[in-house]
Amino acid sequence: MNQETITKIEELKEYLKKIEYLSSTIALLHWDSAIYMPKEAIEYRSEMMGYLSGESYKLTTSETMKAFIDYFHGKDDLDDLTKAMVENIRKEYDHAMKIPEPEYVQYEIDKALSQSAWEEAKKKKDFSIFKPHLAKMIAYNKKFSEYWGFVGNKYDGLLDLYEPGMTTERLDVVFGELRESLVSLLQRINNSKIKTDDAFLKGNYSVESQRKLGESILGKIGYDYEKRGRIDESEHPFTTNFGNKDVRITTKYDPSDFRPAIFSMIHEGGHGIYEQNVSDELTGTSLASGASMGMHESQSRFYENILGKSKAFWSYFYPEFQNAYPELNGVELMSFYRAINCVESSLIRIDADELTYSLHVIIRYEMEKLLIDGEVDIDDVPRLWNEKYKEYLGVTPENDAEGILQDVHWSGGDFGYFPTYALGNLYGSQIFNKLKEEVPDWNQKICSGDFASITKWLKENVHQYGATLKPAELIKKVTGEELSAKYFIAYLNDKFGALYEV
Amino acid sequence: MNQETITKIEELKEYLKKIEYLSSTIALLHWDSAIYMPKEAIEYRSEMMGYLSGESYKLTTSETMKAFIDYFHGKDDLDDLTKAMVENIRKEYDHAMKIPEPEYVQYEIDKALSQSAWEEAKKKKDFSIFKPHLAKMIAYNKKFSEYWGFVGNKYDGLLDLYEPGMTTERLDVVFGELRESLVSLLQRINNSKIKTDDAFLKGNYSVESQRKLGESILGKIGYDYEKRGRIDESEHPFTTNFGNKDVRITTKYDPSDFRPAIFSMIHEGGHGIYEQNVSDELTGTSLASGASMGMHESQSRFYENILGKSKAFWSYFYPEFQNAYPELNGVELMSFYRAINCVESSLIRIDADELTYSLHVIIRYEMEKLLIDGEVDIDDVPRLWNEKYKEYLGVTPENDAEGILQDVHWSGGDFGYFPTYALGNLYGSQIFNKLKEEVPDWNQKICSGDFASITKWLKENVHQYGATLKPAELIKKVTGEELSAKYFIAYLNDKFGALYEV
């Protein structure tokens, strides 16, 4: 690169920093709204956030930004980091600029109406209230995807928002394989003579000790909740960050069950570890974050499930829990391990166990494909949903609230997001497979509470790169292979096959 | 006003809203930094705040702003609110624009150096480390004041920053009277045969019960800490707000003494009540805040001292405290009342009692006049300080840390700020005098825990106006008189004369 190009890169980074400052600020305002903001502040807070989002939009779509994009366009002597950076901003620019502004403004208005209609519909368990809004959200998203250049494969344009480069063609293969194996494994489990029960885990668990146990786990697995993060309580657990030195997670405590808080802390801790481990050098490149939603989910789910629901993990932490909760003294480790890995077909995605969870996601993926690229009568949507639940999970919703209306996503126009949840499971186990090769004594380490080398391996192989690599490039670089369902399938068959002796 | 003017006013308000959104955002970032931010986030946080402050500065000094100011300049058919708004933005514009930018940038750099030099100097108890920086901060501020048009009376230009319209001429009169009375009253107290002691108040007070008692008081006096505010803990108590529906206070708990937390909550609660009671109509006028620092302090000190250290107040709340802290059961109300109103000459301003506090402030006022408008050798500053402490308070610092170096203000270039602390006492008691006339059964009300009509009176007469009136206009409107020291002097003589029988 010549001196002019180098100078231009520095200028672009200075410019991108401003956008980062604004998004960090908006994220902090969100964090505060969800946790500490007094109730009556909501209206003024929305105005503040609206103003800041507008400023951020202006910077993302400015003439200055256009000039940067034009300058770097077609230059072939750029280093990889700059290439990734330029591609990223060009994509964001296009996403914003290709939708006519009046249409986008109207979309934002209709979205707000749609969200409140969904709330009402769910409360009243009545799909018909939400139906016209869902139809509108679908129509908008189809059109947007066409604007972005996806015509015959509009759903790919939406997938690409959350999982850059991912396509229906690829997902059909991996999700198809996964679905078949899961349905078959689930049937075997349902027919197993081994029945598990987790009701005995309900009890009386002080919030204070849940907090301490959670902190103990998070400290061990490598999420820094003191100097570079913090843990708060909110209605729904989430992770947010402002740079890589201020990465905050939240959880929600249930005094009658420690599992929601502990597992959501480990889950959000996984997201948090990823963000804390992104290389400092990526600040101001628009790439200082996870590679994709799916890759992010791979880390949260690795820590929550593969690690956090393993026997090795609990052989280390269980005595600490027994110490905090003497009622567990009568429960053997193996019974505890069975209880936290209880498999049961259910109707609600967010309550699903590790095994059935992906089936809930696959149902949504198949529905979204139909809604965006297929021909489907909007009236048939609840019926189609219910048929898939019956077919894959063997259960049928009694009403729309526990069926088609359960998730908020579609009401906010978020199509293409769901698949990232299941992709996380695939990436996670494929990466774990490699990790096991390179850290052969991983099981022994976990049993003895030594998580440092595991998190270090993930930092070096995954986290540090941020979004400099596309998810497909990253999985190839880490594991030497394309994305595959086989590792997750094998992992589930091993784990649950052993648990249920099937 | 004609239609064009009305439209222009609306445009100006829309523009000013943006500046308010930015200052609210910066204030929230500050709040978070002081309470919840993880340590290592400091560098990135400073960058975020620097960026947002820069954007706010740009809006305040833009061509658009200049055009608004020019448009309204000399228009004599404006309503009072618009007049106040236009004058306020013109003043801010001038303050910013009249300092050459490179000089201001250098000032910010030198200020940061000065602040860290002061920290070191205080730690090492050595004025000489801070001396050259203090000299620089003085020189900058003299020059700035000249830029703003204050030549023969440069200190007035600095006073005007915090207390619009206030002058040395006026302060010399009121502070002169106040000083004489205070010194004389203090001497009489020192010679009184009545000796008070508050050591017995030290004990073991759980933070949780301090919090509950503080909330109970704040709820009663009218600070809404639930729906429109909140209480957190920070190293130094403060109040901050983002609009009038999100007004937050902080306190600091000492498990061995409930007074720091309780009285700082009442003090900050006073600031909070003021901001919560500013009229909704002032949003987006740049006037939706207290009239001045002094007027703000009048409200915090009214609640903290005049109300919060009165016998009537404690005749209501003392049983609740005795209930929470059984060790107080053996202490009579009168002994408790004496203990919280113990008078003692001391060296440290922030630890001073209600009576001697203003003397600490007057010393700083006299020093600042000398430093800014007088001729003083920088080497003589500690000696002059110590002489004044000896003369007015009868005490002498053993070292610079408990003398000239105790306060942070000058290291940050804040000259002209200190007087507002004592002005608060004067405004507060002058307003209280009027309140007593108009709410004749005030004492009975307080005794029975009915604070609503008192806070309502303050809202109607003081709070709701925000900064639409200058402090001199406001005190005249509320009390029918110019600012005077006599009410505060009479109040102190009554209260402490009775307590010490002098």
pLDDT digits (tens, 9 = 90+) for A382-434: 999 999 999 999 999 999 999 999 999 999 999 999 999 999 999 999 999 99
Q: How many CB atoms lie within 10 A of CB B135?
A: 14
Q: Are A353 and A343 in contact (CB under 8 A)?
A: yes
Nearest by CB to A230, which of B24, B38, B52?
B38
Please, what's the largest Cα pairwise distance for chain A? 72
User: What is the rounded average pLDDT of the residues B79-99?
Assistant: 95
How far does Cα B455 stand from its chain's mean position?
19
Q: How far apart are CA A368 and CA B121, in angstroms?
A: 66
* Cβ distance of A51 and B18 shorter than 8 Å: yes
Half-sphere exposure of B270 (CA within 13 A, CB side): 25
Using DSSP, state whether A26 is helix, strand or coil: helix
Nearest by CB to B242, which of A39, A41, A245?
A41
DSSP string, A158-171: HHHHHSTT--HHHH
- State residue B174's pLDDT score: 98
Min Cα–Cα distance to chain B from A107, Å: 24
Sheet containing B239-241: give its strands across. Answer: B229-233, B247-251, B239-241
Confidence of residue B196 (pLDDT cuts 50, 70, 90): confident
* B145 has pLDDT over 90: yes
- The answer to whether residue B48 is domain-embedded is yes
User: Could you give phi then psi for residue A248, rounded to 5 degrees?
Assistant: -110, 140
Q: Supply the range of the domain harboring residue B8.
A: 3-151
Q: How far apart are CA A253 and CA A423, in angstroms?
A: 28
User: What is the rounded average pLDDT of the residues B149-169?
Assistant: 97
- The answer to whether residue B422 is domain-embedded is no
- Chain A partners within 8 Å of B243 (Cβ): 41, 44
Nearest by CB to A242, which of B18, B44, B55?
B44
- The answer to whether residue B16 is domain-embedded is yes
Q: Are B176 and B365 in contact (CB under 8 A)?
A: no
Closest CA to A304 of A439, A441, A429, A396: A429
Q: Is the dihedral of CA B390, B392, B395, B399 positive or negative?
A: negative
* Closest-approach residue (CA) in chain A for B46: A21
- State residue A196's pLDDT score: 86
How are the residues of chain A apportioned to helix, strand and coil, as percentages rounded to the nearest 5?
Answer: 70, 5, 25
- Please name every residue paired with B229 in a beta bridge, in sequence order, or none if there are none: B247
> Taking chain A (502 residues) in consecutive chunks of 10 residues, what is each chunk's mean pLDDT?
94 96 97 96 94 95 97 93 95 94 92 95 98 98 97 96 97 98 97 92 95 98 98 96 97 97 98 98 94 98 98 98 94 96 96 97 98 95 98 97 97 98 98 98 97 98 98 98 98 98 95
Min Cα–Cα distance to chain A from B133, Å: 32
- State residue B1's pLDDT score: 84
Q: How far apart are CA B168 and CA B415, in angstroms?
A: 13
Q: Are B168 and B372 in contact (CB under 8 A)?
A: no
> How far is the CA of A463 from the CAs of A24, A139, A154, A441, in angstroms?
19, 37, 31, 22
* B208 has pLDDT over 90: yes
* Cβ distance of B48 and A24 shorter than 8 Å: yes
* Mutate which: B33, B36, B231, vs A, most A CBs within 10 A: B36
- The answer to whether residue B89 is domain-embedded is yes
* Cβ distance of B52 and A21 shorter than 8 Å: yes
Using DSSP, state whether B456 is helix, strand or coil: helix
Pairing between β-strand B239-241 and β-strand A239-241 as defined by DSSP bridges? unpaired
Closest CA to B31 of B287, B334, B239: B239
Q: Which of A100-104, A130-134, B342-346, B383-387 has the lowest mean pLDDT?
A: A100-104
Residues of B with CB under 8 A from a CB of A: 17-18, 21, 24-25, 28-29, 32, 36-41, 43-45, 47-48, 51-52, 55, 226-230, 232, 242-243, 245-246, 248, 283
Q: How far apart are CA B410 and CA B417, in angstroms?
A: 9
**Number of helices (H) and strands (E), helices first, in chain B?**
20, 3
- State residue A1's pLDDT score: 83
* B473 has pLDDT over 90: yes
* Cβ distance of B21 and A246 shorter than 8 Å: no
| Domain total in chain B | 1
- State residue A430's pLDDT score: 98
Q: How far apart are CA A158 and CA B101, in angstroms?
A: 48
- The answer to whether residue B312 is domain-embedded is no
- State residue A197's pLDDT score: 85
- The answer to whether residue B223 is domain-embedded is no
- Chain A partners within 8 Å of B40 (Cβ): 227-228, 245-246
Nearest by CB to A226, which of B18, B38, B283?
B38
- Chain A partners within 8 Å of B36 (Cβ): 230, 232
Catalytic residue positions of A, numbered = 268
- The answer to whether residue B116 is domain-embedded is yes
Using DSSP, state whether A384 is helix, strand or coil: helix
Alpha helices in A311-441 (DSSP H): 311-324, 333-340, 357-373, 381-388, 419-438
* Cβ distance of A39 and B246 shorter than 8 Å: no
- State residue B16's pLDDT score: 97
Return the structure tokens found at B111: 């200020």
- The answer to whether residue B50 is domain-embedded is yes
- State residue B197's pLDDT score: 85
Q: Are B474 and B296 in contact (CB under 8 A)?
A: no
> How far is the CA of A81 from the CAs of A164, A284, A431, B421, in angstroms?
16, 12, 23, 55
